[in-house]
Structure 1
Amino acid sequence: MDIRIYQGSDAIETEAKVTVVIDVIRAFTVAHYAFLQGVKEIYLVETVEHAFRMKEKNPDFVLAGEVNGLAIDEFDLDNSPSHIQEEELTGKTLVQKTTNGVRATLNNLSSNHLFVTGFTNARKTAEFIRDNLLPGNNEIVHIIASHPSGDDDYACAEFMKQIMEGDSVLISAHEVIDRIIHAHVAEKFFDEYNTAFNREDIMYCIEELDTNFVMKVDQTSKIPKIERVQL
């Protein structure tokens, strides 16, 4: 198989059978916890305005996300995993807009199979793809580290690549966690004077969770949405 790692949120020109979009800090960590809190589905939108239009038509929808890392005025939730895991979201539909992870996903809808993950579900996602979707040696897989310069996403991409390839562990989960914590995108979370970012979020982003599902994007939906796929 041919597994290629890309970085950034732009569209990839070459086609792939499987694409995985990674956003560790924090979009798809938030998505993972949202499903654990009972969310039914997560629509992905490019703009704040689109999210508000969906909310106007569907008042029960829950808006969550950020612009340049910061909470969005009049959204129901921000982009914090520590906040979302306190919410009761059973049966709810989430609408998510983020700067990197959501944008990268919407820019790469052409694969036969499209998944999203943070580190929390990276191992399960890589194992699911390896065991169910890569029967031959000629399959092309794209792993997209959605932050354009963040080592957090890139470390997670390297971790997933080796699992899919079935290699002996070259990068341990512990090493990935260390790289997430020391990535430049994590620095603001440890700055006590920057109250817009919560240190506790990083602690949620580095915890591997043993959950029984992966997050797959339904590209046939008029508005792409993330759904749970049970293992």
Structure 2
Amino acid sequence: MESRFLGIGELRSTPSVAVVVDVMRAFTVAAWAFARGAEKIVLAGSPDEALALKARNPEWIALKDGAPAPGFDTVNSPGLLRSLDLGGRTVVQKTTAGTVGALAVKDAPLVLCAGFVVAEATARVLRARGGDSVTYVVTGEDGRADEDLACAQYIARRAAEDGPGTDPADYLRRAR
């Protein structure tokens, strides 16, 4: 399986399979949201879009990165999600890196959003699906964030293996 590692700005065409990686916030928070019972997550392209979605759906939970802001329920923080009841609810999420990357490849036939917390599950999906090529969208720091690249490389390695294989420790150290 061929692996390409690109920043958002380096995307020139729609890949057939895209794995969008944002370790520090977006997709770690998404995994926590699902673990806390969220039914689905809607990615917003801008803070205004997130707030408009929330206005039309007041029961939704609106998350953003950065400082707290009026209209948003909280910021993208796994720790802060612990105080919210997400059971059966929809989360609308806007971030500067992860959601932007996912929306940039939204027309791909398969888009997976990942961080280390779901890395093994992501690799299993890629192994099961097969295919010739996967584009890993490294979202942070214009495609240069080492934690995102380390996670993407780990997933790529695990997707190519059958069995226990690669130890994540070296990759996780890069994410600190």
Equivalent in the alignment of 2:112: 115
Runs of 4+ in 1 over 4 A off after TM superposition: 167-171
> Which residue is 2:34 aligned to?
35
1:145 aligns with 2:138: yes
TM-score under structure 2 length normalisation: 0.90
Q: Counterpart in 1 of 2:78? A: 81
Deviations 1:34-72 (A, max 9, x none): 001110111101111111111111111110111xx3333
Tell me if the contact between 2:14 and 2:105 (Cα under 8 Å) persists in the aligned partners. no
| TM-score, structure 1 as length reference | 0.70
Answer with 57-66 or 159-168: which moved more: 159-168
Matched residue SS, 1:71: coil
Please say if residues 32 and 121 of structure 1, whose CA atoms lie closer than 8 Å, have aligned partners that are also in contact: yes
5+ residue gaps, structure 1, are 182-231
User: Residues 38-77 of structure 1: matches in 2 within 5 Å?
Assistant: 38-66=37-65, 69-77=66-74
Amino acid at match of 1:30: V
Asked whether the equivalents of residues 162 and 168 of structure 1 are also in contact (C-alpha less than 8 Å), the reply is no
Deviations 1:181-229 (A, max 9, x none): 1xxxxxxxxxxxxxxxxxxxxxxxxxxxxxxxxxxxxxxxxxxxxxxxx
Measure the CA separation in 2 of the matches of 1:143 and 1:31: 18
SS state at 2:19 partner: strand
Give, in whole Å, the separation in 2 of the partners of 1:157 and 1:96. Answer: 22
**In 1, Cα distance between the equivalents of 2:23 and 2:36?**
18
For residue 154 of structure 1, the aligned residue among 140, 149, 152 is 149
Q: Which residue of 1 aligns with 2:24?
A: 25
Higher helix share: 2
- Partners of 1:23 and 1:128 lie apart in 2 by 18
The counterpart of 2:169, out of the listed 155, 174, 180, is 174
Q: Is the contact between residue 15 and residue 105 of structure 2 (CA under 8 Å) also seen in structure 1? A: no
How many residue pairs end up in the alignment?
A: 174
Superposed CA RMSD in Å reads 1.9
Residue of structure 2 in register with 1:195 after alignment: none
Residue 91 in structure 1 maps to residue 84 in structure 2: no
Please list every run of 5 or more consecutive structure 2 residues that lacks an aligned counterpart in the other structure.
none
What amino acid is the match of 1:117?
Answer: A
The verdict on how the C-alpha distance between 1:125 and 1:94 changes in structure 2, with shifts beyond 3 A counting, is same
Deviations 1:114-164 (A, max 9, x none): 110111001111112112x11x5xx22111111123100000011011111
Greater relative contact order (Cα 8 A, min sep 6): structure 1 or 2? 2
* Deviation sequence 1:82-140 (CA, Å, 0-9, x none): 11133221011100000000001101122111110111001111112112x11x5xx22
Residues of 1 paired with 2:43 and 2:34: CA distance? Answer: 14
Q: Distance in 1 between matches of 2:155 and 2:147?
A: 13
Measured after TM superposition, the shift of residue 74 of structure 1 is 2.9
